[in-house]
Amino acid sequence: MNTSVNTSGHLSFSDLSFPDWMRYVQAQTEVALDRLLPTADTTPAHLHQAMRYACLGGGKRIRPLLAFAAGELSAAPVTRLETVACAVECIHAYSLVHDDLPCMDDDVLRRGQPTCHVKFGEATALLVGDSLQSLAFELLAHPLSDDPQIQLRQTFLLAQASGSRGMAGGQAIDLDAVGKALNPQELEQMHTLKTGALIRAAVLLGALCGDPPDETALARLDRFAASAGLLFQVIDDMLDCTANTTTLGKTAGKDAAADKPTYVSLLGLAGARDLAEQLQTQAVSALKPFGEKARRLTELTDFFVRREF
Amino acid sequence: MNTSVNTSGHLSFSDLSFPDWMRYVQAQTEVALDRLLPTADTTPAHLHQAMRYACLGGGKRIRPLLAFAAGELSAAPVTRLETVACAVECIHAYSLVHDDLPCMDDDVLRRGQPTCHVKFGEATALLVGDSLQSLAFELLAHPLSDDPQIQLRQTFLLAQASGSRGMAGGQAIDLDAVGKALNPQELEQMHTLKTGALIRAAVLLGALCGDPPDETALARLDRFAASAGLLFQVIDDMLDCTANTTTLGKTAGKDAAADKPTYVSLLGLAGARDLAEQLQTQAVSALKPFGEKARRLTELTDFFVRREF
């Protein structure tokens, strides 16, 4: 892999093929998480081991990839992108740990491994989620940056995206939706919150790491992220019913088993595929004014459609 | 009650008796929480109703009282103190909701009412805690203040105090401690994290709302808060075994029933009383250099010792 860091600490990603760039960001995120999470022997050790278990050793790192890709638009320094990527990933990891708990989805498999509560117990898994959420904001607000205004904005955006009018709110709608017949608008609202809010935050936080984009550019990016987030979810729904558990690394078919409404149950596989194509077109067209700088975001959108896990 | 607000928006608390001041801050916190929490009909309504249930309608508001009292040291404006007090109270309320869950303390009574999961179900209670934590940081990082540097510092302090090396870490140590014989140092370490960290954050965040105190003053305040936090816990342990459930508004005697180490189980009632006196002396002496400005903090410390619920 041929990467080069220029004198201002900005990474020149342009030489890398998309698969290499993706592997680079995933590896970079893993290393940064390993460094930013408390070590496994820090008191209380049991909790810190469980936090590390929940965050390290895999995952698609979709949100870090989006943050890094958006960072290209504003020539963002890698060090700040790493922090932002880890903060968003901590929120994502906490949501998975809590989502897998017996009182929620009651799932035993995640990333091909026993879920956090299966391995460490329910009470510890609860605290793992709680602590990962705090850690996300601790990372973002760490008083070492040279632009507190931007840091504060990033912190605010992530908090909004995580809370009851964002990701957690989407989870609540999801809970209420079990066994109900949602229409496409209601399903979209649920996913716009449940997965969309954090995906949008990842994109905006990444872009805000560099030369501050103007509000028009940010609004355009947000439109991109809204389409890309929904696209990601439509494909997720399709994979949930077409892929098997080994490939996914999590229990396949569980939405149907739990009688949860999905894009596939609502539109059928062909209808979901059509919707995915529409969303891809919308996402890519929102990126057009950014030109070549949006290359990684475009490639990621394409990857969302092609992925098989 | 005779309060006056001067032209710069700073409240003149000095005319109020301590009980009146306390009632004023408690009422002010209730009103501010009511305003800052999403309304009960905001989607998802079930979640927002449960969040409001967990935060409104009572509680001692110890942390808001500490924030307001510390704000007197720096002539802090009431509007910012309200925000900070609500943020800290959201973290406290979330910790109670999660702590009461079946996989933790499995408690059915809080503030004289059914606990959140008894009333709204376990899954919703989990999301209530998660969402209240996000809301705390959303409030603190709201981009409307004129000093992002201070806001960022407050956000960082609260995140640190809440996480795995703060409150949640204390909970994890508490979990591990059931049925074990801790020595006084281990018990102190647990409480320093479990309740102490958030109490210290409340004091520091309050003081940071006004004319920034110098680092020496902040360090002194932190020493005060460490002693006051531990004092609060020692008295809590004493009340847990001497008061009844109706007075406490939560299940009395539950520490002993759960075989949890407490200051009373370790030192006996008389020994715990002696320790409380020592801690009160330490707390009050740390405040001495602040003179009359520390009046409310001193009165609060005194209240901690005298309280009966």
ipTM summary value:
0.93
For residue B160, which residues of chain A lie inside 8 Å, CB to CB?
A: 134, 138
Sequence-ordered strand ranges (E) for chain A:
4-5, 11-12, 109-110, 113-114
Give A212's DSSP letter: P
Query: Which pairs with CB-CB distance under 8 Å and at least 24 residues apart come from A277-282?
Result: A277/A305, A279/A227, A279/A228, A279/A230, A279/A231, A279/A234, A280/A227, A280/A231, A280/A304, A280/A305, A282/A223, A282/A227
Question: What confidence tier does A4 reach under pLDDT thresholds 50, 70, 90?
Answer: very low
Interchain pair A134, B51: CB under 8 A: no
- What the block records as the tokens of A211 is 């030369």
Q: Do residue A164 and residue B135 have CB atoms under 8 angstroms apart?
A: yes
Residue A152 with chain B: CB contacts under 8 Å: 141, 143, 148, 151-152, 155
- Higher model confidence: residue A251 or residue B41? B41
Does A156 contact B141 at a Cβ distance shorter than 8 Å?
Answer: yes
The full DSSP string for B216-260 is HHHHHHHHHHHHHHHHHHHHHHHHHHHS-HHHHSS-TTHHHHTT-
User: B52 and B135 in contact (C-beta within 8 Å)?
Assistant: no
CATH architecture for segment(s) B16-306: Orthogonal Bundle (1.10)
What's the maximum distance between 2 C-alpha atoms anywhere in chain B?
57
User: For the domain A17-306, what is the CATH code?
Assistant: 1.10.600.10
Q: How confident is the model at residue A1 (pLDDT cuts 50, 70, 90)?
A: very low
The first and second tokens of residue B231, run together, are: 């004092």
Long-range contacts at A304-309 (CB < 8 A, ≥ 24 apart):
A304/A228, A304/A231, A304/A232, A304/A235, A304/A280, A305/A231, A305/A235, A305/A276, A305/A277, A305/A280, A307/A60, A307/A235, A307/A239, A308/A239, A308/A243, A308/A247, A309/A60, A309/A239, A309/A243, A309/A247, A309/A248, A309/A249
Q: Is A175 on the interface with B (CB under 8 A)?
A: yes
Q: Which of residues 259-298 of B touch A (CB under 8 A)?
A: none
DSSP single-letter state for residue A211: S
Domain ranges in chain B? 16-306
Q: Which residues contact B261 (CB under 8 A, 6 or more apart)?
A: B177, B180, B181, B182, B187
pLDDT in tens, A241-250: 887 656 656 6
Dihedral over Cα of B255, B259, B260, B264: its sign: positive
Question: Which amino acid does the sequence have at A227?
Answer: S
Q: What is the distance between the alpha carbons of residues B1 and B223, in angstroms, rounded to a whole number?
A: 33
> How many angstroms separate the CA of residue B144 from the nearest CA in chain A?
10
| Strand, coil or helix: A11 | strand
Whether chain A has a CB inside 8 Å of the CB on B48: the answer is yes
**Region A50-65 average pLDDT:** 95
Residue type, B98: H
Give the Cα separation of A210 and A217 in Å (integer). 13
pLDDT of residue B180: 82
Closest partner CB to B155 (pick from A124, A155, A189): A155
CA distances from B241 to A83, A209, B233, B235, B245 (A): 46, 53, 13, 10, 10
What does the mean pLDDT of chain A come to? 91
Q: What is the mean pLDDT of residues A145-171?
A: 94
- The reply to whether residue B159 touches residue A134, judged by beta carbons under 8 angstroms, is yes
Pairwise CA distance, residues A19 & A145, whole Å: 31
Please say whether the beta carbons of B199 and B225 come within 8 A.
Answer: yes
CB atoms B134 and A164 under 8 Å: yes
Q: At which residue do the structure tokens 């809080």 appear?
A: B110
pLDDT for A13: 64
Instruction: Please give, rounded to a whole number of angstroms, the shortest distance from the CA of A169 to a CA of chain B.
Output: 6
Q: What is the largest CA-CA distance in chain A?
A: 57
CB atoms within 10 A of CB B210: 19
Strand partners, A11: A5
Task: List the 201-230 stretch of A: residues with Cβ below 8 A of B.
Answer: none
- DSSP code of B114? E
Q: Does A38 touch chain B (CB under 8 A)?
A: yes
Q: Which residues, other chains included, contact A19 with Cβ-Cβ below 8 Å and sequence gap of 6+?
A: none
**How far A31 CA sits from the closest chain B CA (Å)?**
20
Distance, in Å, from the CA atom of B64 to the CA atom of B160, rounded to the nearest integer, reads: 18
Using the beta-carbon criterion (under 8 Å), do A164 and B48 form an inter-chain contact? yes
Smallest CA–CA distance, residue A44 to chain B, in Å, is 6
Cross-chain residue pair A152–B156, CB shorter than 8 Å: no
Both tokens of A252, joined, read 């396949």
Residue at A246: amino acid letter: T
3-state DSSP assignment of residue A110: strand
pLDDT on residue B11: 52
Q: How would you classify the pairing of strands A113-114 and B11-12?
A: unpaired
Q: Write out the two tokens for A219.
A: 């609004």
For residue A222, pLDDT over 90 is answered with yes
Contact B127 A160 (CB under 8 A): no
What radius of gyration do chain B's Cα atoms show? Answer: 19
- How many residues are present in chain B? 309
CA distance A75 to A66: 14
Pick from A196, A246, A236: nearest CA to A66: A196
Ranges of residues in chain B whose predicted pLDDT is under 50: 1-4, 6-8
In chain A, % of residues over pLDDT 90: 78
Q: How many CA atoms lie within 13 A of A267 on its CB side?
A: 19
**Per-residue pLDDT tens digits for A89-114:** 999 999 999 999 999 999 999 988 99
Do B213 and B197 touch, CB atoms closer than 8 A? no
Scan residues 67-96 of A and list those with Cβ closer than 8 Å to B: 94
Please state, in angstroms and rounded to a whole number, the distance separating the CA atoms of residues B292 and B295.
5
- Identify the pLDDT of residue B58: 80
The burial class, CB within 10 Å (0-12 / 13-18 / 19+), for A240 is: buried
State the Cα–Cα distance between residues B201 and B47, nearest whole angstrom. 27
Q: How far apart are CA A151 and CA A102, in angstroms?
A: 36
| CB nearest to B126's CB, from A38, A98, A166 | A98
Contact criterion met (CB < 8 Å) for A134 and B48: no
- Exposure b/e, B175-203, CB count within 10 A at least 16 = b: bbbeeeebeeeebbbbbbbbbbbbbbbbb
A 124-153: CB under 8 A from B: 124, 126-127, 129-131, 133-135, 137-138, 141-143, 148-149, 151-153
